[in-house]
Each structure stands twice: as C-alpha cells, then as structure tokens.
C-alpha cells in the first residue's frame, strides 16, 4: 500500500474522531449553567456559608481575578462566576470571610505560558502562510498541466524490450518487410547507393488478433534506434487544435532522436476519411489528420523518421493517407494457415505443461480461422481447466473443452432439455453430420454434441480437409445443403419444424445471395450487382446507388430462392436415403451427448461405437481362450485372436 492510499484510508477515521470530540465538547458547553455573581453577593454568600467550592485564577494582563465555584444546592453542571480587581485587599477580605471548611483552589495564569503565547500568536500565521503557499502551488501546477496539454503522448520504448522476432511465430514475409526498415535505419548507405528510397510509412492491415501490435513490439525489440509508440486515440481531444499540436510535438521529439521509428496503433481513430459520415465531419480529428499528412510529406523534411501504423479497417482511411510518399506500403497481416498456427501454438505452449498425448500439429489442423490471439486464449483456457480439475498437465480433454469454449462459449450444464427437445436437437445435429459425411465436397465432421453452448442448443464441428483460398460453385452449394440438413432432418423425423435452424438459414441465405449478386454464380451471369457496404459512421456515405433495377431485384430474389430450394431438395433426398445412419447417430447422441471423429467413423463403417466393438472383441477372445484351454493348447494365454483360431482349427 502506498502513502497516498494510506492517507486516504486514515483521513475518514481522523475526521470521525475530531467530530466525536467536537460533539462531546459542544454538548458539555450547551449543558453547562454558569451564574454570574457580583462581588458583594459573593461576600454575602461566604458569610452565610453557602459556598462549597472556590477556584481563583489571576489574570495579570487584565488586572483581575476570575473566581468560579459552587454553592450549596447547585447541580453537577451548575457553577458561579465572579470577576474582581487584582488587589491584595480584595483577596484578604475574601480569605477572611470564607469558612474554613471550604477548599480554595488557585490556578496559574494560562496567559503567562510562553508556549501558549507561541501557539496563540504564531501558529495562526504559520497556518495562513502554509495555506497560501499550498494554493499557489496548486495553481502553478494547474498552469503547467495546461501548458502540457498540447504535448505529445508518444512514449519512448525501453531498450530492454523483451519481444523480438523469435516471439512472433509465422508472418515470415511480414517480418521480412519490417526487417528491411530496421536494416535501412542501421545501414542506410546500402540502400542509397543504388538509389533506393525507403518507404516513409508502413501500414499493417489485418483482422483483430493477428499480431499487428506484436509485430511492432518485435520491431522495437530488434531495432537499436529510438522507438516511439502511441495510439490513434491519444491525438483526438475535445478541444480543436490539441491533436494537431500533439502531432507537431511528436515529430519535433522524433527529429531530435532521428533516425527513429514511430508506431501508431489503431490509426483509423484519427485517419478516417474527411468530410464523410452521418452528420458531416469532425473538426478536431480532421485537423489532426491534416497535420499528420503535412508532417509525413510536407515542405519540411523528416529524414530518418519511419512510421509504422496498424489498423483492421483500412477501407475507412483517408486516400491521402495511403498515397505514395506517406503510407505507401501496406503489409497484410492475415489469419495464420495450418503451418503458422502450429508455430504460434509452440510459442504459447513454452510456459505450459502439456501431456504427452497432446499433439500441437493435430490441434493446428482443428483450428482453421483462429487468429494468434484466439490460439493463445485457447491454450490459456485449457490451462485454467487443468488447474480447476487438479491435474498436473494439460491433456487433450482440456484442449477439446477449451476449443469448444472459444467457438461457442462455456457449456450450459444447468440448462436441461425435456426428452422431446433433446431428441429434436439430436436429429437436427445428426442431419448436419450425415450431409457432411455423404457430400463429396463437404468439410470433414470432427465432432457432434447436443450440449448447449451460448445461444446454440448443440453444434456439429466440421473442418476442411485442406485449407484453400478459393471456393467452387459446387462447394458453396454443398455448404448450403449441409446448413439446411438440420431443418430437413427435423421435418423427416417429426413431420414438424422448430426454430432451431434460424442461424443455419441466415448463413445459407447469405451464401446464396453472395453467389447471385457478388460471385456471378447464377443465371443472371457474371455481373456484380451488390457489394459489401460499410457503416454510415465509419467514413461511408449514407446513400449508395443501386446497380440494378426493380426487375433485376425481383430476378435476384428468384435466383436466391432457386438455389435454396434446390439445396433443400438435395438435402431431403440424401437424408431420406440414409435414414438408418441418421437414426444411428441420433441414438448415439442421446446416449453419449458428444461424439468424436473416431466414434463417428466407427458408426458409419460398422454401425457400432468403438467401445461396443472392443467389448465384443474381448468376449470373442475370452471364448477362444476357453476353447484352447479345453483342448490343451500350450501357450494359448499369449496368442492373438487369429493365432487362437488357427490353433483351434488344427486341433
């Protein structure tokens, strides 16, 4: 705990104590009753022996005595007070008149204390001077902060950056592109002697979690030059002109330490298209962007300063930012392929204890479409599950569960189906699986489960046998057919349909419409009729022109309907012809709830689960050994099933 937090923790208790003492003191003062008497009255009371207690306090500065005491019949909180001149005659008269039984107390004059004089006269001045000094310091500090408002927020990275290219798995070509910048900063003559001009800015573009920021950190670890890093949102403030001031100050600092690198993360926060979007432009952001454009390629030279920026929305950036001379090189950091995924898994598995049964190459094949961040999260979830289960190492069981968690969320164990709903979900997923098995160009079925996760009541995990960059028309049609398999299976079995296929329909319709309007895979011909639109708040115009008439819109709807209907009929025919297989898989799901690829293959090939086959083989082997024992065959306990059958036949 630091000193500031300790002070903040003690202050409430200190104020509470002061409040209690103050309240107690005020209560005593309010309840105290003081009767002011005259000198003559006091002498009379002394003569009548009414005084029971007397306290005399001299006040030398006021030349008086202050006399307090109690009278007979006074309550505990009641006293009297008399002020008399400071005179020996007066004091002698009081002492001669008083009854001998009265205890007379005398107090020294408190005003005669030098310490009290200092406290009363000097301490208020000290407090006043201290308060004035404190407030003046606060005002100067506030002024300094105001003067610092337009300063750059770019931070200079430490020389001992621990992230290097060794920590960045995959991204071979991307690392080569960035390494070229580092080589130029270290030995520029190697490039300039051939007339080469190094790019002033490099833009890292790619989906979230693919390693853009990690790659920039690795550049900081590899480079022996100053490395500044800042987020795009650090430029934009409420007040117009602050961002532009920060850009100027950032380049001013960079010039003093050139050659150097500047990394701007999430540059789309400041680099969006100017003058677009719903409601017009944004003055502060646009002025900041204008200043950035000027600094990157203005009349002034910024020799030796190279900017690396990262974004996952390059489509919303201003064209002036991407022209040659500014960010004239774009490096696409895409999702990793199977080889890169294996390398990424090896990097993140260094500090984890994996069981011998875990094969990272197999896991890499099962995770197409996973980003580097998703793979790191997968292994972390598996490690958390292993700790939760009190295991000494991470096994494939935890990795399977972690994969399901990343894809669909944690299992909803508390959500219970009734028997009918469970049977509907089982047949729904069995329909998807059978189409994946029977369609020649469909993805391989890796896993089926009816355990609900997230919004899904169950799911069928299907992975491509090999990763490709292109999809044929046949593959897209079979993908739509597979998505419709759940609804078709429900209809065939129960003669009724449910709402469980709404997400399947959404995906199938999206693919079918893209085939018609974007890919030219319909009777309308190779014409692009639609394109993916950006949001109106992301630097895109609100109104977009249509590339087709109302008649063509009707034709598009007809073509989409034709594709969906054709695939639906294909799914119906395949599932009707394979009713037994659908029932076999659905029954297994109802019993086991989750089926792996090995179990699915066994059901397709033999009609039985691997556990059932193994049990039958054990029974057959036990029967053959019993026969061999009866026939007196030697060494039968060590023979295989085939050897036992052969030995028994000979006998």
Tokens of 204: 């890292």
Q: How many Cα atoms occupy the beta-carbon half-sphere of 15 within 13 Å?
A: 6
Size (the chain), residues = 651
Phi, psi of 404 (to 5 degrees): -65, -35
**Which has the closest alpha carbon to 616: 204, 169, 607?**
607
Task: Determine how many CB atoms are found less than 10 A away from the CB of residue 80.
Answer: 21
Q: How many Cα atoms occupy the beta-carbon half-sphere of 500 within 13 Å?
A: 27
Tokens of 288: 């900041």
In this structure, the dihedral spanned by the alpha carbons of residues 462, 466, 471 and 474, taken in order and rounded to 10 degrees, is -70
Q: Would you please indicate which residues are annotated as catalytic (active-site) residues?
A: 429
Are β-strands 155-156 and 329-332 bridged in parallel, bridged antiparallel, or unpaired? unpaired
The secondary structure of residue 533, as a DSSP letter, is: P
**Which has the closest alpha carbon to 309: 323, 321, 298, 300?**
321
> Strands (DSSP E) along 451-543, which ranges?
459-463
Task: Determine how many CB atoms are found less than 10 A away from the CB of residue 165.
Answer: 16
Tokens of 326: 């500014």
Task: Determine the Cα angle at 32 with ends 31 and 34, to 5°.
Answer: 145
Task: Determine how many CB atoms are found less than 10 A away from the CB of residue 140.
Answer: 10
CA dist 598 → 6, 142, 431, 448, 595 (Å): 61, 69, 18, 11, 8
Give the 3-state DSSP-derived string for 21-73, with helices as H, strands as E and coil as C: HHHHHHHHHHHCEEEECCHHHHHHHHHCCCEEEEEEEEECCCCEEEEEEEECC
Give the 3-state DSSP-derived string for 124-161, with helices as H, strands as E and coil as C: HHHHHHHHHHHHHHHHHHHHHHHHCCCCCCCEECCCCC
| Residues forming a β-bridge with 634 | none
Show the DSSP H helices in 409-499 as ranges. 419-438, 473-483, 485-494
């Amino acid at each position: 705990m630091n000193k500031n937090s300790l002070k903040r923790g003690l202050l409430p208790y200190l104020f509470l104590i002061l409040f209690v003492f103050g309240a107690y003191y005020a209560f005593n003062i309010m309840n105290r009753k003081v009767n002011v008497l005259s000198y003559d009255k006091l002498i009379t009371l002394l003569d009548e022996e009414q005084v029971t207690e007397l306290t005399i306090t001299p006040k030398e500065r006021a030349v008086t005595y202050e006399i307090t005491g109690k009278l007979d019949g006074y309550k505990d909180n009641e006293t009297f007070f008399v002020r008399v001149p400071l005179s020996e005659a007066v004091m002698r008269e009081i002492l001669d008149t008083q009854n001998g039984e009265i205890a007379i107390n005398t107090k020294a004059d408190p005003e005669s204390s030098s310490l009290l004089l200092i406290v009363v006269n000097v301490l208020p001045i000290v407090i006043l001077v201290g308060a004035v000094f404190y407030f003046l310091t606060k005002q100067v500090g506030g002024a300094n902060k105001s003067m610092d408002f337009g300063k750059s927020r770019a931070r200079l990275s430490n020389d001992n950056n621990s992230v290097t290219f060794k920590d960045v798995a995959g991204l071979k070509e991307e690392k080569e592109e960035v390494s070229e910048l580092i080589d130029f900063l270290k030995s520029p003559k190697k490039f300039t002697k051939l007339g080469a001009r190094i790019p002033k800015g490099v833009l890292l573009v790619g989906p979230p979690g693919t390693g853009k920021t990690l790659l920039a950190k690795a550049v900081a670890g590899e480079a022996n030059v100053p490395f500044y890093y800042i987020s795009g949102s650090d430029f934009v403030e409420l007040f117009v002109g602050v961002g532009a001031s920060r850009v100027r100050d950032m380049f001013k600092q960079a010039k003093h330490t050139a050659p150097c690198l500047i990394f701007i993360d999430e540059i789309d926060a400041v680099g969006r298209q100017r003058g677009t979007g719903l409601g017009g432009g944004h003055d502060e952001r646009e002025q900041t962007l204008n200043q950035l454009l000027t600094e990157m390629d203005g009349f002034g030279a910024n020799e030796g300063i190279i900017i690396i920026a990262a974004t996952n929305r390059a489509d919303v950036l201003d064209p002036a930012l991407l022209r040659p001379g500014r960010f004239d090189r774009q490096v696409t950091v895409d999702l990793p392929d199977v080889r890169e995924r294996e390398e990424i898994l090896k990097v993140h598995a260094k500090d984890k204890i994996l069981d011998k049964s875990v094969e990272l190459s197999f896991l890499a094949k099962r995770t197409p479409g996973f980003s580097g961040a998703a793979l790191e999260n997968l292994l972390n979830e598996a490690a958390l599950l292993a700790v939760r289960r009190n295991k000494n190492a991470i096994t494939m069981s935890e990795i399977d569960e972690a994969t399901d968690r990343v894809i669909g969320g944690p299992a909803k164990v508390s959500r219970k189906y009734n028997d009918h709903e469970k049977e509907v979900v089982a047949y729904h997923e069995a329909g998807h699986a059978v189409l994946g098995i029977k369609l020649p160009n469909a993805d391989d079925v890796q896993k089926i489960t009816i355990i609900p996760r997230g919004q899904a009541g169950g799911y069928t995990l299907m992975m491509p046998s090999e990763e490709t960059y292109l999809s044929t028309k046949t593959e897209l049609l079979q993908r739509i057919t597979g998505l419709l398999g759940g609804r078709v299976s429900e209809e065939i079995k129960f003669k009724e349909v449910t709402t469980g296929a709404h997400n399947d329909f959404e995906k199938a319709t999206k693919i079918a419409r893209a085939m018609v309007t974007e890919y030219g895979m319909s009777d309308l011909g190779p014409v692009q009729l639609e394109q993916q639109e950006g949001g109106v708040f992301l630097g895109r115009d609100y109104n977009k022109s249509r590339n087709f008439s109302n008649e063509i819109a009707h034709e598009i709807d007809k073509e989409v309907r034709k594709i969906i209907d054709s695939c639906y009929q294909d799914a119906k025919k395949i599932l009707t012809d394979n009713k037994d297989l659908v029932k076999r898989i659905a029954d297994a799901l109802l019993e086991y709830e989750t089926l792996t690829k090995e179990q699915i293959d066994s059901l397709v090939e033999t009609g039985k689960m691997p556990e059932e086959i193994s049990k039958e083989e054990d029974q057959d082997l036990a029967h053959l050994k019993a026969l061999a024992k009866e026939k007196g065959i030697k060494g039968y306990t060590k023979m295989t099933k085939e050897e036992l059958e052969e030995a028994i036949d000979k006998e």
